[in-house]
C-alpha cells in the first residue's frame, strides 16, 4: 500500500492523454513516486545540514535535483515569500494556487539585464617548485613584492604612508594561537638551562637523556629548534655553547617519539655552521674545535640517513654545501676538515670516490703550502691530511687484503700512477706511509 494517492497518478496520466490506466500500474507508479520524493528530500536535507540550517529551502531541493541529475524546478527560488490564493470548485472543494505578481511590461523591458551568475569552480597552480616561485598570473609579481617592502612598518611609521598603503590601524592576529602549558614551559626552561650549565656534567647528562627519550614533547620541538639556531648565531665564539646545542639537536633527532621532519630545514643551517664555519670557538683549543666539527658531521650524517626518504633533495643539497666549502681555497683548513668529514658522513664511500678523489690533485697543492714549516696553519693542515687518509681508507671496504709479499712498499710504477690520481704531494705521503692496500684501492677506481 502506497502513501502516495494513486488517484494523483491517474489524474496526471489523463492530463497527457492516457486513459483507462490499470490499477496495478497506478499502484506501482505511486510507490515509485513516493520513493523518488523521499530520495530528493534525503539529498536536500544533506544540503540543509551542511549549511548549518534547520529550515529546508527551495534552494536545497534544487541542489538535490541537480545532484540526482534531474532538471531543477524553475520559479521557486525567489527570496520573496509566496502568496497563495484560494478558489472554489464547488461546495467543500477549495483549490489553492500561487498568485502571480502583476508586472509592468514597460518597466521590465527597459530595466537593465542582471549580471549572469558565475558557477563556482576550483583551479590549482604551483605556488613554488623546488623553492622557486614560477611567474604565472596567480602568483604575486616582483613589483608587488617591492610595494610591500616600501610599505611603512613599525610603531614609529608615518601614519599617512600607512594609510596610503592600506595598512593603517590594522591589527594582525595569528591564525592559530599556540598555547603551552605551564609544565611544558617550565620543562623547556629547565632543559635549556641544564644544557648550558658548565658546573654540573650530571645535570647536562640528565637533560640530554630526557630530551632523547621522553615522549610528549611535540609542542616544544619548534622552540628547541629556534633555541639551537639562536645560540649558534650569537655564540660562535663559545665552544661550550656550540657543543651543547649540537648535543641538544642530536637528542631531538634520536627521540623516536618526535616528528622532526617539518623542522629539518630549520635544523640543518646551525649544524652546517658548526661543521664548516670559518671560525668556531674563538681562541678555544684546536682539538675542541675539531671535536665540534666531528660531532656536527655525525649529526649531519644521521639526519641525511633518517630524513632523506621524506626529502629526496636533502642529501644532494648537504653534499653540495660541503663540496662548495672544500673547493674554496680561501676557507681555512678547519672548514675544509669539516667539509671532508661532512661529505663522507652524508654520502659514504661513494661521495669520497665521486666528489673528493677527483679534486685531490688540485687540493694537494694547497695542502702542501699549508704543511710548510713556517706556515702558522700547519697544525690544521696536518689534521686535514690525517682525515684525508681516513676517508680514503673507506675505499678499501669490500676488498680482500693483499698478501704479505708486498712488505708495505709502494713501487715507483704504482707511485707514478698514483700521482695522476691524487697529485704528487698526497701520493708521496701515501707512499711514505706504506699504504699499499689504499694505493691499489685508489688505482682500481
Cite the residue boundaries of each domain of the chain with CATH code 1.25.40.770: 180-310
- Neighbouring CB atoms inside 10 A of 270's CB total 22
Mean pLDDT to the nearest integer, 411-429 = 80
What would be the CATH architecture of the domain defined by 1-77?
Answer: Orthogonal Bundle (1.10)
> Among residues of the chain, what percentage have pLDDT more than 70?
84
pLDDT value for 364: 87
How would DSSP label each residue in 134-201?
---TTSPPHHHHHHHHHS--STTS-HHHHHHHT-TT-----SS-----HHHHHHHHHHHHHHT-SS-H
* pLDDT for res 123: 82
What is the structure's pLDDT at 154?
53
- Please give the average per-residue pLDDT across 155-179, as a whole number: 53
> Which range among 60-74, 76-90, 284-298, 395-409 shows the weakest confidence by mean pLDDT?
395-409
Q: Which residue did the predictor score with more confidence, 385 or 395?
A: 385
Spatial distance between the Cα atoms of 232 and 228, rounded to a whole number of angstroms: 6
Residue 176 has pLDDT above 60, yes or no: no
Query: What is the rounded CA–CA span in Å between residue 151 and residue 156?
Result: 13
Map grid coordinates 623516536 to a residue.
256
Tally of CB atoms within 10 A around 331: 17
Of residues 311 and 54, more confidence is placed in 54
pLDDT tens, 397-412?
755 554 444 445 667 7
- Each residue's pLDDT tens digit, 222-246: 999 999 999 999 888 899 999 999 9
Measure Cα distances from 243 to 100, 161, 207, 233, 347 in Å: 85, 47, 14, 13, 24
Nearest-angstrom CA–CA distance, 3 and 1: 7
pLDDT for the residue 160: 47
Helix 221-234, helix 182-195: angle, nearest 10: 30
What is the structure's pLDDT at 406? Answer: 47
Instruction: Give the residue with greater pLDDT, 64 vs 281.
Output: 64
Strand pairing partners for 107?
A: none
C-alpha cell at 314: 636533502
pLDDT at 321: 92
User: In Å, how far are 131, 318, 329, 370, 371 from 365, measured between CA atoms?
Assistant: 38, 26, 10, 9, 10
Whole-angstrom CA distances from 404 to 13, 196, 399, 434 are 108, 52, 15, 12
Given pLDDT bands bounded at 50, 70 and 90, which one contains residue 430?
confident
Within 321-437, strands assigned E span: none
Per residue in 128-158, is it b (16+ CB within 10 Å) or e — as a string?
A: eeeeeeeeeeeeeeeeeeeeeeeebeeeeee
Q: Residue 414: what pLDDT?
A: 78
With 80 as the cut, is the pLDDT of residue 82 above it?
A: no
Q: Which cell numbers in the block locate residue 114? A: 542582471
Average pLDDT score over residue span 110-117: 86
Q: Which residues of 60-70 are buried (b: 16+ CB within 10 A; e: fewer)?
A: bbbbbbeeeee
Q: How far apart are CA 326 and CA 319, in angstroms?
A: 10
Residue predicted with more confidence, 86 or 214: 214
User: pLDDT tier at 155 (50, 70, 90 boundaries)?
Assistant: low
pLDDT, tens digit (0-9, with 9 covering 90-100), for 335-358 = 999 999 999 999 888 898 889 888
Delimit the CATH 1.10.20.10 region(s) of the chain: 1-77
H helix intervals, 308-332: 314-326
Asked whether residue 17 carries a pLDDT value surpassing 60, the answer given is: yes
Q: What is the pLDDT of residues 271-307, one digit of tens each?
A: 999 999 888 887 778 889 999 999 999 999 999 999 8
In this prediction, residues 146-166 reach a mean pLDDT of 51
Query: pLDDT by residue (tens digit) across 347-386?
Result: 888 898 889 888 888 888 898 888 888 888 888 999 999 9
First to last CA, the chain: 89
Q: Does domain 180-310 have CATH number 1.25.40.770?
A: yes
Express each pLDDT in 316-339 by its tens digit.
Answer: 999 999 999 999 999 999 999 999
Question: pLDDT tens digits, residue range 122-144?
Answer: 888 888 877 777 878 777 776 66
The chain-wide mean pLDDT, for the chain, equals 82
Amino acid at each position: 500500500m502506497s502513501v502516495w494517492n494513486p488517484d494523483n497518478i491517474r489524474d496526471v496520466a489523463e492530463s497527457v492523454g492516457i486513459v483507462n490506466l490499470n490499477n496495478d500500474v497506478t499502484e506501482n507508479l505511486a510507490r515509485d513516486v513516493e520513493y523518488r520524493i523521499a530520495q530528493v528530500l534525503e539529498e536536500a536535507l544533506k544540503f540543509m545540514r551542511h549549511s548549518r540550517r534547520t529550515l529546508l529551502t527551495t534552494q536545497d531541493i534544487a541542489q538535490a535535483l541537480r545532484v540526482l541529475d534531474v532538471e531543477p524546478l524553475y520559479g521557486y527560488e525567489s527570496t520573496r515569500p509566496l502568496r497563495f490564493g484560494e478558489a472554489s470548485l464547488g461546495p467543500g472543494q477549495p483549490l489553492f494556487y500561487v498568485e502571480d505578481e502583476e508586472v509592468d511590461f514597460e518597466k521590465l523591458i527597459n530595466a537593465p539585464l542582471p549580471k549572469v551568475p558565475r558557477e563556482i569552480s576550483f583551479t590549482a597552480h604551483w605556488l613554488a617548485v623546488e623553492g622557486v616561485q614560477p611567474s604565472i598570473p596567480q602568483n604575486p609579481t616582483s613589483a608587488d613584492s617591492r610595494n610591500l617592502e616600501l610599505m611603512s612598518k613599525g610603531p614609529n611609521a608615518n601614519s599617512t604612508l600607512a594609510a596610503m598603503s592600506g595598512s593603517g590601524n590594522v591589527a594582525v592576529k595569528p591564525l592559530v594561537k599556540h598555547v603551552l602549558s605551564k609544565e611544558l614551559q617550565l620543562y623547556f626552561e629547565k632543559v635549556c638551562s641544564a644544557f648550558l650549565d658548565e658546573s654540573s656534567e650530571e645535570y647536562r647528562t640528565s637533560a640530554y637523556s630526557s630530551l632523547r627519550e621522553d615522549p610528549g614533547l611535540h609542542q616544544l620541538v619548534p622552540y628547541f629548534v629556534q633555541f639551537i639556531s639562536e645560540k649558534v648565531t650569537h655564540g660562535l665564539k663559545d665552544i661550550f655553547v656550540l657543543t651543547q646545542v649540537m648535543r641538544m639537536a642530536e637528542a631531538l633527532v634520536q627521540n623516536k617519539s618526535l616528528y622532526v621532519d617539518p623542522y629539518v630545514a630549520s635544523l640543518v643551517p646551525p649544524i652546517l655552521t658548526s661543521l664548516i664555519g670559518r671560525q668556531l670557538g674563538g681562541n678555544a683549543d684546536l682539538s675542541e674545535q675539531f671535536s665540534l666539527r666531528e660531532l656536527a658531521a655525525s649529526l649531519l650524517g644521521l639526519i641525511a640517513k633518517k630524513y632523506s626518504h621524506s626529502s629526496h633533495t636533502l642529501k644532494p643539497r648537504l653534499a653540495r654545501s660541503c663540496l662548495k666549502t672544500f673547493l674554496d681555497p680561501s676557507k681555512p683548513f678547519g672548514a675544509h676538515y669539516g667539509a671532508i668529514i661532512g661529505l663522507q658522513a652524508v654520502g659514504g664511500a661513494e661521495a669520497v670516490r665521486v666528489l673528493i678523489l677527483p679534486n685531490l690533485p688540485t687540493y694537494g697543492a694547497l695542502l702542501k703550502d699549508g704543511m710548510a714549516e713556517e706556515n702558522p696553519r700547519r697544525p690544521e693542515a696536518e689534521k686535514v691530511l690525517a682525515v684525508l687518509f681516513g676517508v680514503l681508507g673507506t675505499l678499501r671496504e669490500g676488498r680482500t687484503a693483499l698478501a704479505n709479499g708486498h712488505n708495505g712498499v709502494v713501487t715507483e710504477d704504482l707511485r707514478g700512477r698514483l700521482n695522476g690520481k691524487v697529485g704528487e704531494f698526497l701520493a708521496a705521503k701515501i707512499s711514505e706511509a706504506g699504504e699499499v692496500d689504499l694505493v691499489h684501492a685508489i688505482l682500481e677506481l
